[in-house]
Chain A
């Protein structure tokens, strides 16, 4: 389900959970700051939440506007009581995401897997 803003995406997994289903929230690091107050619902109601976050602003970043949020993503999430896992290499991604889902769903908590910018590779805008 595409969203107009990352902030919007915290609620659907909560609603799905109320209905007995599970959801995952995907975003780039720049969107994490948009979610802060919505995460209060996740915490207050103890909804499980798994966030997959592709990182910008931390490795070979070409856009300075990505750096403020990119360098603070983990700190912001942890201040919101979201557990943070990182995957630095592609071969680690699957296991890390599986572990995150396990702890979110079984632990009734919010967890974010940060897929590092080095894992994704620096963007090259080439035509």
Chain B
């Protein structure tokens, strides 16, 4: 997450899907122009689409997880039809539902998000498995000519960082 966002500049508007992508972005790259989802699972990409269409002069990056993306899979079709050039979607794909106990998601099995994005008309896709690929994708965020979709292959780990919460005793 840090590498993806460290050169974002002041122009980029960030939308994060619920779960680890919201926690991690808030942890390492909290900015006023971030919008964090903590619910409405499946909505992150479409929030990004609405924002990108509303602000064509700004760059919009949606960062979410495989489970959240799968719950809004149809949105890739809608985004594939609209294809605003200022929108990019990056999916941290660890094949797991992190918030509910690391159950396997469909991408741990046979479902492959790059192929889905391509079939929906998103031809500028990135299948990223190392830092070089990640930095290349991050650099392209500022001047892409069409909607970009990136799958960031992530290893499932049990370590999770959450935001501190208020409790009765704190």
Interface residues of A (CB under 8 A from B): 1-5, 7-21, 23, 37-38, 40-41, 44
Contact = CB atoms under 8 A, between A and B. Distances in A.
Interface of B: 13, 15, 35, 37-44, 46-55, 58, 72, 74-75, 77-78, 81-82
A20 to B, nearest CB: 6
10 contacts: A10-B46, A11-B44, A11-B49, A12-B53, A14-B50, A18-B51, A19-B54, A20-B54, A21-B54, A40-B39
Contacts of A8: 46, 72, 74-75, 78
Contacts, number: 90
Contacts of B48: 15
Contact of B47 (A2, A4, A7, A15): A15
A8 to B, nearest CB: 5
Given A4-B77, A8-B78, 9 more contacts: A1-B82, A7-B42, A11-B43, A11-B49, A15-B35, A15-B51, A15-B52, A16-B54, A17-B54
